A and B are shown apart, each in its own frame.
Chain A
């Protein structure tokens, strides 16, 4: 018998006037020891199943149909006491944000003890048990760790602690909701392997929720692709990735760039996934508005889930016609100039970490003698794990940090520690696009005022009309509609915010953009649009860019050259294609090996921690 049997599960947002389905008729079975992946973009409803099981549905949402059987018991209708005794014990969770899942004011030990008590393993000797669990997830010196606070650990370590806690009760079912999204690729590879290891030890079944189809294909037995609350496709992982039956699965796969293989364009899904309201009004296939294969039938009749091969179902009138969906050709290789835009020589930055009145200070070298050049109309990628000095590099280049030594020339002009005039000039020539648009956009300014913010100071005052024109141009350049000018950032989607962020930086037509992780945390279709936008803007405006990212595939798609950073040092640099196809430095090799490729049984080289 299946451990988890989900039958026609429907979760809806109910109000007095309407019922809107967030998940419709979800059906799947999970056997002990197996892993099922739930894949989809945000808004597809992939987190709802975990929330339903945990009874953590957002306010207004409720199960309105179907059954959810755990080992034959109905999880929806079960008495609250019974559910409480199952949760945390037989059913465990690993959250997305490890840091926010741990209480910052309690030590790891205190929290572990509380959890052990909850699962009935508290009492004398809890320390030994906790240490043993931490040891099992390969954390060194587990006893010392018990006395530390969460903020003293890295994200990866916190996630290990949470995994140790989750497996302390030897659960039969584990729900992992995007457990690696906030982590680096190499850490992701280790965490994923660890979950697999623990799963094998205890025979645990795992529901793995992720937006990354390749990662799911790599680690899951079965994969469910969700679109707008409905199962688009459900089948064995390799089949689904290699030979998808549903157009959406194919589009998802083609929307993200690869780290290997021939260069190709990204498949652009038009528009956005319909929201809950729009779904309720749709008559035909939910994907019809964006599907490349849609025809009249699709718009009027909804396809049911049909078995297309043993153990493989798809909800599409044209299953297996996906061969016809091909990616656009690779973007043309842009002509690069030879003019040196930015030149760094021996650029270093160290921070004083431990200052003592007597006996000097200890230094942390965040950036060690970096040498590189960015040429005209060239996109240069910077890759490395968090803590590799990527962000320090960005902050030093833009002038938020003063380098400890070295020289930095912008268009042949020295820009370190210079007078006000040079600073103004530098700010006109070089701009940064910050990582988190949430924090980078003033919530109290309207979009129009944000994008033209740079014109408030410096240069001659513009007339209201000229300003209007500039705002209009910037919005249309970045693919935003004109009405956006009057909106506040909180009224925009994540992708739109990032466009506003870019528009603001481009306002005074800089020669160089510094972009810090601007494409991460976006849905794949939004990410594809953003990457193409950057390429188009380069063609139109002709700027260079230093593109900092942890996503190697994106860097390969976008950048002409790449710098690989590790521990504050540039360990390898060169043409992107050359570096990625024939990496010289072991660190580059291990980074490339950690990228999920959609093939099962990953043999990832261990990175030196």
Chain B
């Protein structure tokens, strides 16, 4: 039983978990943590530098932007958008992609052929272009950002998982389960899914990082949430004008994105290493 939690011993997983947990706490307790209202404009305090620079003010620990809004508060509230998109987008892409991957890999034959061709066609569009086209078609808004991410990125899951499913489906224990009277659905969920789950979790974690970046790009071009809701991409867009006089307004949201993506990636990478080796060991032993 002890080896079940082996993955907790990996430094990468711990680092990733700490970062991601921190983010989740920020998002959940944003109203308690933020020192100011993120949308309140204080025209008397425009472009106040952060506390560690001369002229800083503890009322605005990370300074203010060109409209006099508190940068720290906006960052904290921005994590809500980032995480919502990360979780919903990645989950949706995973569900769609992995269902199709399991169907294709398990049944093979023409089913696999059809799904494989669709994935290929999908992948022939550059993802950024595809998401922009989708956004233009769907219109701005948070739901549509999530939908765009799902529609663009399900292929990642599908392609990678399909080959894994195929390998597992070839095993005799899958045939044995069928011969013991298991239905297709039961065979997939009881015999195949447990084997592909580690890969699924890993991909999911990486995909959350991707989703954060995509959301930032789309909110940067004003395709995401409206201007009244703070989002990191929007903060970057707003800060462009004052890039020389107040670089922190630009650098801080970029840093937030960077740390978030880093957290998801290192978590995913750590999980891949620990879960995968455990698998190959049991498989080979």
Contact = CB atoms under 8 A, between A and B. Distances in A.
A490 B281 CA distance: 9
B275 to A, nearest CB: 12
A432 B182 contact: no
Nearest to A437: B172
A440 B181 contact: no
B175 A427 contact: no
Given A439-B173, A440-B172, A442-B173, A454 B180 contact: yes
A441 B180 contact: no
Given A442-B191, A457-B181, A432 B285 contact: no
B40 interface: no
Contact of B282 (A399, A424, A488): A488
A399 B179 contact: yes
Q: Is the interface of B mostly helix, strand, loop or mixed?
A: helix
B176 A444 contact: no
B139 interface: no
Contacts of B175: 400, 434
A541 B281 CA distance: 37
A504 interface: yes
Nearest to B173: A442
A38 B186 CA distance: 48
A490 B176 contact: no
A439 B181 contact: no
A434 B176 contact: yes
Contacts of B171: 439-440, 442
B177 A453 contact: yes
A436 B172 contact: yes
A444 B195 contact: yes
A43 to B, nearest CB: 15
B283 interface: yes
Interface residues of A, number: 27
A428 B179 CA distance: 9
Contacts of A431: 179-180
Interface in A401-448: 424, 427-428, 431-432, 434-436, 439-444
A291 interface: no
Nearest to A424: B181
Interface string B269-285: 00000000000011101
B247 interface: no
Contacts of B177: 442, 453
B194 interface: yes
Interface in B180-224: 180-183, 186, 190-191, 194-195
13 contacts: A399-B179, A424-B181, A432-B176, A434-B175, A439-B172, A440-B172, A440-B173, A440-B176, A441-B173, A444-B282, A456-B190, A490-B281, A507-B180
Given A454-B181, A456-B182, A491-B285, 8 more contacts: A398-B179, A436-B172, A439-B173, A440-B171, A442-B195, A453-B177, A457-B186, A490-B282
- Sort A-B residue pairs by CB-CB distance and give the 7 closest, nearest first: A440-B172, A490-B285, A434-B172, A454-B180, A439-B172, A442-B173, A490-B282
